[in-house]
Amino acid sequence: MSEIKRTPLYDEHLKLSARMVEFAGWSMPIQYQGLREEHNCVRNQVGLFDVSHMGEIRFLGSKSLATLEWLTTNDVAKLNSGEAQYSLLPNDQGGLVDDIIIYCIEKNQNYLVCVNAANKDKDFQWMQKHNRGAEIIDESDKWAQIAIQGPKAIELSNKVLNVAVSAMKAFTFQPIQFKGASGYVATTGYTGEKGCEVFIENKAAAQLWQELLAVGQTLGVQAIGLGARDTLRTEMKYSLYGHEIDDVTNPYEAGLGWVIKPAKKDFLNKAQILNVKENGLQKSLVGFKMLEKGIPRQGYTLFSSENKEIGLVTSGTHSPTLDEPIGIAYVAMPYVAEGSEFLVDIRGRKVKAKVVRTPFVHQ
């Protein structure tokens, strides 16, 4: 078994008495003060996340754009330097290798792709296998990544990064320098709150983390673990690979048709992905709330009132913001309309739930 990896911020987490867990081969903080407190801190003030476990893969050269266009579902050609884009890597079975964010460093020549930690090696091999002439470099060991999220995140970022983050549009980024290290600040995030994500060379990661915590004291800043990161994204109904999407997921059924641009270009396995939509979706991803006591969890089966199996829970939790149980699930098409009711099998007990509008929390 391979050794568990540590991010450049590992020692900082220990200083804060974080509870560490193994996640995607990394030792990561699951919580510091407690999940509910950390969750509410991000919703009301500002929180810092160590997301250095994420992978970063560089595409260089005159064939970088053509390669990314073939590998991904979204329209990479529309990106100008300094712009970012959420996209998908389709596989050859009609499912997904991963969901990603593409950062256009220099149009047609230089792109940085952020991939999920658990999928990094798989993604890199897939990209190399289907390369159309780009230079593809795994830079994951070079970069640390800190997410700054919450209503006061932009104010904190402006103070520490010496960049007018408040003037940046969503899904844009710009280069930064911090303590002799290079990096990028991007107006992206995974919480539904205002904020940004900072890529910084490993050597300055701890200093940046410490300064964000120190300067942010007056703003109520806290370090936030993976536990609250998951409840925050669930409240927004953001997909997580291995839950809402995986290697057999059709992206249209996952509600991700907005990042598929078939009229703009050809891409890997385009026909099979489109066929599912053209033949009529059999299921769709919905958000639901429990009408009776019980917490839905990934893998729980859904039933109609006639006891017919109609779906599967992909994520579920007790929402700290709403103080009630919520879930995300794939449900057969006759049951996807808002207000539709069904039963969740919670360890042999069938509990009532209903489809609701998402995101669960409106920012």
What gap in Å lies between CA 70 and CA 156, rounded to an integer? 39
State percent of the chain over pLDDT 90: 98
Please name the CATH architecture into which domain 5-53+141-235 falls.
2-Layer Sandwich (3.30)
Give the per-residue pLDDT at 362: 82
Average pLDDT, the chain: 97
Judged against a pLDDT cut of 60, whether residue 120 lies above it is answered with yes
pLDDT-based confidence at residue 44 (cuts at 50, 70, 90)? very high
Please name the CATH architecture into which domain 55-138 falls.
2-Layer Sandwich (3.30)
Give the per-residue pLDDT at 199: 98
pLDDT tens profile 262-279: 999 999 999 999 999 999
The residue written with tokens 């792709």 in the block is: 113
Which residues are registered as beta bridge partners of 146?
Answer: 50, 198
- Mean pLDDT score, 100-128: 98
pLDDT-based confidence at residue 52 (cuts at 50, 70, 90)? very high
pLDDT tens profile 292-320: 999 999 999 999 999 999 999 999 999 99
Give the per-residue pLDDT at 273: 96
Handedness of CA 55, 195, 32, 178 (dihedral sign): positive
**Is-contact 97 247, C-beta < 8 A?**
yes
DSSP 136-167: EEE-TTTEEEEEEESTTHHHHHHHHHSS-GGG
SS3 at position 46: coil
- Mean pLDDT score, 84-88: 98
Give the per-residue pLDDT at 303: 98
Give the per-residue pLDDT at 192: 97
**Is-contact 51 224, C-beta < 8 A?**
no
Q: Where in the chain is the domain with CATH 3.30.70.1400?
A: 55-138
What's 79's DSSP letter?
A: P
Residue 119 tokens read as 């999928």
Give the per-residue pLDDT at 301: 98
What gap in Å lies between CA 54 and CA 11, rounded to an integer? 18
- Per DSSP bridges, beta strands 283-290 and 349-356 are antiparallel
Question: Around 242, how many Cα atoms within 13 Å sit in the side-chain half-sphere?
Answer: 7
SS3 at position 138: strand
pLDDT-based confidence at residue 2 (cuts at 50, 70, 90)? confident
What gap in Å lies between CA 255 and CA 267, rounded to an integer? 19
pLDDT tens profile 187-205: 999 999 999 999 999 999 9
pLDDT-based confidence at residue 216 (cuts at 50, 70, 90)? very high
- Mean pLDDT score, 13-21: 98
Judged against a pLDDT cut of 70, whether residue 172 lies above it is answered with yes
How many other CB atoms sit within 10 Å of the CB of residue 247? 15
Q: Which CATH class is domain 282-356?
A: mainly beta
Judged against a pLDDT cut of 60, whether residue 335 lies above it is answered with yes
What gap in Å lies between CA 80 and CA 65, rounded to an integer? 11
- Mean pLDDT score, 230-240: 98
Residue 309: phi, psi to the nearest 5? Answer: -70, 125
Closest among 274, 189, 226 to 9, alpha carbons compared: 226
Give the per-residue pLDDT at 363: 62
Q: Where in the chain is the domain with CATH 3.30.1360.120?
A: 5-53+141-235
Give the per-residue pLDDT at 309: 98
What gap in Å lies between CA 349 and CA 41, rounded to an integer? 34
pLDDT-based confidence at residue 1 (cuts at 50, 70, 90)? low
What gap in Å lies between CA 251 and CA 277, rounded to an integer? 9
Q: Tell me the helices (H) and strands (E) count for the chain, helix number first.
A: 8, 20
Q: Where in the chain is the domain with CATH 2.40.30.110?
A: 282-356
What's 334's DSSP letter?
A: G
Residues 6+ apart with CB under 8 A from 222: 32, 33, 37, 38, 41, 45, 46, 47, 48
